[in-house]
Amino acid sequence: MSEGYNTAEEAIQAGIDAGGVDEFEGMNCNDSLFDDDQAECAGWDGVDRRCDCGNRRVSWETGQYDNGKFYAYGVAY
């Protein structure tokens, strides 16, 4: 999706259609895994309020490339 999208909404929808993101900004889920039996966080599906492991609340943020096209990424807040 590096070419970007015409609108921020399109960029977000494309992210959701792609199944979300494996990593997001502020993702520290796997830092707090002390138990080896615990599954690592699989990221964020782009729809739920929280990431896969439930540690962080995540939402879409969008930015614009120099060419004016939009991109979307996940950010914990």
Tell me the closest approach of the beta carbon of residue 18 to Zn ion, in angstroms.
Answer: 18
Tell me the closest approach of the beta carbon of residue 58 to Zn ion, in angstroms.
Answer: 8
Least Cα distance to 55 among 37, 72, 33, 22 occurs for: 33
Q: Where are the beta strands (DSSP E) in the chain?
A: 58-64, 70-76
Q: Does 11 bind Zn ion (CB under 5 A)?
A: no
Give the nearer residue to Zn ion in terms of CB position, either 55 or 62: 55
Give the nearer residue to Zn ion in terms of CB position, either 29 or 70: 29
